[in-house]
Amino acid sequence: MTTAANGPESGVRRVQVEADRAGQRIDNFLSGQLKGAPRALIYRLLRTGQVRINGKRAKPDSRLEAGDEVRIPPLRLDEPDAPARPPAALLSHLEAAIVFEDARLLALNKPSGLASHGGSGIRFGAIEALRALRPDQSLELVHRLDRDTSGLLVLAKKRSALTELQALLREDHGAGLTKRYLTLLTGRLPDGTLTVDAPLHIGLRQGGERHVQVHPQGKPSTSHFRVLERRGGHSYCEVRIETGRTHQIRVHAAHLGHPVAGDDKYGKEDVNRRLREQIGLRRLFLHAASLEFALDEGAAPYLLNAPLAPDLSQALDRLG
């Protein structure tokens, strides 16, 4: 339910939180209310105290309860941060990249180079573009992929599906959801399945760039690497992860001494240069290939797949 204020706060909206939005973070709630607004603008509204929950100043990670009243300030579309519509070519490309859709979920084969969402200098990401493509639908990110990683990105069209899937993602040891990636690791990884159980800690480098490292005080993180093929002295692998930490596969692979091919943050510059010259690999060779889970307490199974991106398939073929 939405009401508009009169008087000095004319244009302000006060929205009552419906029961199906209980537990949602305020920043995600605002993304749904302020269609197309960049994350940077939403965080600025929160940071400057213009958004309030039951009269109290909201924080970006505040969680809502049914019946809460959210004060939303007016958004002027002529502000410098006002959203720009994503290019028509991108919208057309993303429409063709939808690999699954039903009444509850939409799955996208996200291209490398496209962020999951806007913010930090990024005008728009996959979620903003898909909302522009489907303006009459309610779309929320179930999870995120690194900007450089291609592959399966799942969005919820119903709040009930979002909360159930996010609960599965939080389960220990990946019991409720199986995430499978395809990657090319540099060098020869040993045969069989190699498990990396190493805690990860996010630090900041000069300039605010995130850098993740294995650290005893980090969060528990587990990845399972299995070689599928040997190609040109390198290892084409399937990776199953039990946790979804930032840069997890990339840091665990580097920890093994076999970084992901094309990784300019955690990889080997000389190897990346050779692969760029020899097989035309110009980006991170990491692809989210599949997600398997069940909704409705196990009654509705899903197996979602995203084909390996053409540029990665071609690079793999050139390795011989």
DSSP line for 136-183: TS--EESS---TT-EEEEEEESSHHHHHHHHHHHHSGGGSSEEEEEEE
Q: Is residue 14 part of a domain?
A: yes
Q: Is the pLDDT of residue 240 over 60?
A: yes
Q: Is residue 79 part of a domain?
A: no
**Ordered alpha helix ranges (H), the chain:** 26-33, 39-47, 88-96, 126-133, 159-170, 248-256, 269-279, 310-319
203 class by beta-carbon count within 10 Å (0-12 exposed, 13-18 middle, 19+ buried): exposed
Phi and psi for 96 in degrees, rounded to 5? Answer: -75, -20
- pLDDT tops 60 at residue 6: no
C-beta of residue 45 within 8 angstroms of C-beta of residue 73: yes
- Does residue 82 sit within a domain? no
User: Whole-number mean pLDDT of the chain?
Assistant: 88
Do the Cβ atoms of 177 and 293 come closer than 8 Å? yes
Catalytic residue status for 146: yes
CATH of the domain at 116: 3.30.2350.10
Q: In this model, does residue 204 exceed pLDDT 90?
A: no
Q: Which amino acid is at 182?
A: L
pLDDT at 176: 79
What pLDDT, on a 0 to 100 scale, did the predictor assign at position 7?
A: 43
pLDDT at 126: 93
For the segment 256-283, the average pLDDT, to the nearest whole number, is 96
**Cα 176 from Cα 242, distance rounded (Å):** 10
C-alpha closest to that of 126 among 106, 104, 146, 110:
110
pLDDT band of residue 274 (cuts 50, 70, 90) is very high
Give dist(CA 254, CA 266) in Å, integer: 6
- Pair 259, 253: CB distance under 8 Å: yes
DSSP-based three-state secondary structure for 127 = helix
**In terms of pLDDT, which residue wins out, 186 or 81?**
186
Q: Are 246 and 310 in the same domain?
A: yes
pLDDT at 173 over 60: no
- Is 93 part of any domain? yes
HSE-CB at 99 with a 13 A cutoff on CA atoms is 21
Query: Could you give the percent of the chain with pLDDT greater than 70?
Result: 90
E-assigned strand segments in 206-309: 210-214, 222-231, 234-241, 286-295, 300-305
- Residue 158 burial by Cβ neighbours in a 10 Å radius (0-12, 13-18, 19+): middle
**Mean pLDDT in residue range 105-131:** 87
Residue 80's pLDDT band, with cuts at 50, 70 and 90, is very low
On whether residue 77 sits in a domain, the answer given is no
Quick check: is 271 in a domain? yes
**How does residue 8 score in pLDDT terms, banded at 50, 70 and 90?**
very low
- Expressed as residue numbers, the domain containing 143 is 88-160
Identify whether the C-beta of residue 130 lies closer than 8 Å to the C-beta of residue 116.
Answer: no
At residue 18, the pLDDT reads 87
d(CA 6, CA 104): 37
Would 17 be classed as within a structural domain?
Answer: yes
Domain final residue, candidates 72, 102, 131 = 72
Spatial CA neighbour of 241 closest among 312, 174, 295, 287 = 174
User: How many helices (H) and strands (E) in the chain?
Assistant: 8, 17
248 and 311 share a domain?
Answer: yes
Tallying the residues shown for the chain, one arrives at 320
Of the candidates 27, 68, 146, 148, the residue annotated as catalytic is 146
Where residue 60 falls among pLDDT bands split at 50, 70, 90? confident
In degrees rounded to 5, what are phi and psi of residue 45? Answer: -60, -40
| Same domain (yes/no): 38, 94 | no
* Residue 170 vs residue 42, higher pLDDT: 42
